[in-house]
Homo-oligomer: A and B are copies of this chain.
């Protein structure tokens, strides 16, 4: 029990789901603790723009304390959870033991290398701000190194950029690097033959943007090819040793920069029954997001797998799912505490979109699919509106407008050099 007999709800993770849940519990008679290893919320959909020098990291991060300013029933702690002991309703954390009546796991996902440790050691993930900043440093360092490369093979390796995974992140990253090449590199590196910079996008399935409409899939590939990206579909990565990327069909690409966006897996807390974990390292939850195997443990967002007849693989790992689950869980928790009934989760799919580059995006909203300039503006508008915080909206808007007219990227800075 928390303060003055209130039920104590502990939320692990300050992503879209955790934040939404805590906000919706604002005026309720519950005692909330939210934990995150960072003191900020990350707007993950724009990480790729940080990695490619388009945006300041600080403008897609938002202080969690500020989100909950004035929310009296909530405490926030920067900590990492080492272990959960469900039988004792306890979390062991880096700042001590935290007890709960209800535990909500909203830890999100991380890059999935599918057990290929060599790839994991050498490819660059892009799921957090420090990872995006490392990637930004590496891209720029490799360009600097290419200038002084001792031989042609080495130069080629430094100028080949490979993105593995043709989902939205992969498509957007490939497009952003292509734009960087087109508008920035030729000015920044007059000594380099910019035509030698190659961008590859590798996708295992026959098309890009798997869950989107056929039209969006075809058009996004067309956009990328217009920008000079070599798109390899039906191509699986066999190995990558830091120098040579080998595909399953035997083709090889020499590259110092391999960006991994080929899959994610849930970030599951230590101490949970492994039987509740399903494919993708996600926690199997019922229709009210309760983790099967437990009575008072819930999971929302990317880490939750709500397997049902309608959703045999769970929901897509996108922000709207996490937000909607957070919102509903707030209601359900209050109802349960008050002894009332709960309602089952039903995902309201608002559609999907991806941007490829300047004036080029693809949007699916229900049965409506459109591409090109209007889609691009739609993409920008939706992302700007979803971004947390007025200052962030303003700074991102200023950067985008400036980039649009100047054809430039402002933040091509190696602030902390990346070292393996």
A residues whose Cβ falls under 8 Å from a Cβ of B: 38-40, 56-59, 61, 63, 65-66, 69-70, 72, 75, 77-78, 95-96, 129-130, 133, 140-141, 144, 147-148, 187-191, 389-392, 394-395, 398-399, 402, 406, 408, 410-416
Contacts and interface: CB of A to CB of B under 8 A. Distances in A.
Contacts of A57: 56, 58, 415
A140 B66 CA distance: 13
Contacts of A148: 77, 95-96
B395 A399 contact: yes
Contact of A410 (B133, B190, B392, B415): B392
Number of copies: 2
A170 B63 CA distance: 26
A408 B61 CA distance: 15
A129 B415 CA distance: 7
Contacts of A390: 402, 406
A58 B56 contact: yes
Contact of A391 (B58, B147, B410): B410
B65 A189 contact: yes
Contacts of A69: 187-188
A413 B61 CA distance: 8
A141 B77 CA distance: 11
Contacts of A399: 391, 395
Contacts of A415: 38, 40, 57-58, 61, 129-130, 133
Given A57-B415, A189-B65, A390-B402, A144 B78 contact: yes
Contacts of A75: 191
Contact of A63 (B188, B389, B392): B188
A392 B395 CA distance: 11
A398 B406 CA distance: 18
B188 A413 contact: no
Nearest to A66: B188
B58 A414 contact: no
A333 to B, nearest CB: 23
11 contacts: A65-B187, A66-B188, A69-B187, A75-B191, A77-B147, A77-B148, A78-B141, A78-B144, A96-B148, A391-B402, A394-B398
A78 to B, nearest CB: 5
B413 A402 contact: no
Max chain B CB contacts within 10 Å: which of A59, A133, A141, A392?
A59
A408 B69 CA distance: 12
A394 B406 CA distance: 13
A392 B144 CA distance: 23
